[in-house]
Structure 1
Amino acid sequence: MKKLLLPLFTLVLLVASSSLMAQCSLCTKTAQQLGEGPATGLNNGILYLAFMPLAIIAFLGIRWWRSTRGEA
């Protein structure tokens, strides 16, 4: 059951993150002037750039947690 919980939680977060708005107020004002298409692209780019460092930190955290538990 525990092995299924982490992938399921990750999947739920990935599905939910597609509807998030990641723009700051200044980016929102600029994107509104450009139109709907560029605003969506800007929002997706912000989410993509935020995801990569968090994924790396999660990977390192999981490796550290497994090594302290004695699993390899």
Structure 2
Amino acid sequence: MKKILFCCFLALGPIFLFVQNTYAQCAMCAINAEEGVKNGNTQGLGLNSGIMYLLFIPYFLVLVVGIIWYKKYRKKVVHLNMKNEQINLN
């Protein structure tokens, strides 16, 4: 498990080192929000972060369900010491 986490960290780690600004608005929404802010409207200031927040939630939920599913249904190593016992197949 530690090896898998280490490999995932090595694969995904560089993505978080080079973060770019993201804009989650379509062109029309961006123009309307910018015009509203220029005219003194303050409601459009948090629009982009709200959209990013709404986009993040489904991916986070899928990740949580995947982790729970993995932990619940993974194969567990079970050692049975049955060498000296005879098995009856009737």
Aligned alpha-carbon RMSD (Å): 3.2
Unaligned runs of 5+ in 2: 77-90
TM-score normalised to the size of structure 2? Answer: 0.53
Q: Aligned residues, how many?
A: 69
Higher relative contact order structure (alpha carbons within 8 Å, sequence separation ≥ 6) = 1
Q: Quote the sequence identity (%).
A: 28
4+ runs deviating over 6 angstroms: none
Q: Which has the higher helix share?
A: 1
Q: Deviations over 1:16-62 (max 9, x none)?
A: 3x611101222112112023776552111110111122111110012
Q: Taking structure 1 as the reference length, what is the TM-score of the superposition?
A: 0.63
Tell which structure's C-alpha radius of gyration is larger: 2
Change (3 A) 1:23 1:55: same
